[in-house]
Every structure is written in C-alpha cells, then in structure tokens.
Amino acid sequence: MTNDIGRFSTAPAPGETEAAAERQAEEQKPPELVYGSAEEFLHEQLLPTYVRDVDGRTAKWCIEWYFHPEALSRVEALWRAWEHLRLDGATGISVWWRDHADHHMNVLLDPHGPFHKCDMQKHRDPEHLKPQRAPAGWFPDVRLKQS
C-alpha cells in the first residue's frame, strides 16, 4: 500500500515552488491582443472579411467613419468582442459573427443608420439627438447611495 498523504499536503516538493509560481503567473496573464486598436481591427480584419455591396440605397458607409460617435463605439465593441471570443476555439467566432458582427454591421450599414447623410466620397456631420432634461428628482444619482 502506498502512502497517499502527500496528495493532501500543502507543502510543495523542493524545486516546485518556482515552477508553480511561474505557471500561476502565466495563467493570470491576460492574452495578448491581435490588434492594437479598433481602427487596425477594422482595416485588417473586419472590412476584408465583411464584404457587402454598399450602393447608397440598401447600404451606406462613410469614408470618414471615425467622425461618427456611434460608429466609433460599435467598431470598438466589435474589436473587443472579437479579441475575447477568438480565444474560444469551439464556437467563439461563430458567436462573434452572429451576436456582434451581423448585429452591429447591419445597424452601421442601414440606410437610415449613422451614415445616412454620408456617402462613400463625402462625410457629412451627424445630427445628434437633442434630449430635454427630465424634471428634478426623476433620475437620482445612484452613486450617492453607495456610501
């Protein structure tokens, strides 16, 4: 019969301390990004793979897409989701296409979407929605309750 007490021991065997610490550091280290920015992702991954006929009637795009706050936010979201989901070797990229790329690109390319005033050759500044402030007290600052 073997002595199994070592399986439950908390003391590492000599020489295992450094190796275990290195493995733990590796496991905690976030994976490196493939792309350094949302713009790099757009140019090198998204637009080369997401090919559509942008005719101005059924789909719109702005050559200066970065002047549109909604487009910036959506492209950033697409990039960050892609960087995360690419690590799932099973269904990650499928989930990214279905839940992220198809959704956001349909909104961005929609003729009534953020580029509705633009075309492939000319950018026109977007009109922002103009809200009216709600009456005082309708939306209390919840940060004040966190103390």
Query: Would residue 28 count as lying in a domain?
Result: no
CA–CA dist 5, 56 (Å, integer): 73
Domain count, the chain: 1
Q: Is 123 domain-assigned? A: no
Residue 114 near residue 73 (C-beta atoms within 8 A): no
Report if residue 102 sits inside a domain: yes
Q: What is the pLDDT of residue 126?
A: 80
Q: What's the domain range around 80?
A: 38-109
As given in the structure block, the two tokens for residue 16 are 């295992």
The pLDDT score that the predictor gives to residue 16 is 65
Is the separation of the CB atoms in 70 and 114 below 8 Å? yes
Q: Would you say residue 82 lies in a domain? A: yes
The residue among 81, 52, 71 whose CA lies nearest residue 117 is: 71
Is residue 70 in some structural domain?
A: yes
Q: What is the pLDDT of residue 12?
A: 58
The CA distances from residue 62 to 43, 59, 67, in Å, are 14, 11, 9
Q: What is the pLDDT along the chain (147 residues), one digit of tens a residue?
A: 555 454 544 555 656 667 776 777 667 888 999 999 999 999 999 999 999 999 988 999 999 999 999 999 999 999 999 999 999 999 999 999 999 999 999 999 999 999 999 977 889 888 888 889 999 999 999 898 876
Its pTM stands at 0.73
Residue 86: name the closest of 76, 74, 96 by CA.
Answer: 96
- In a 3-state reduction of DSSP, which class is residue 69? helix
Judge whether 142 lies within some domain.
no
H helix count then E strand count, the chain: 6, 0
Kindly state whether residue 136 falls inside one of the protein's structural domains: no
pLDDT of residue 18: 73
Is 128 part of a structural domain of the chain? no
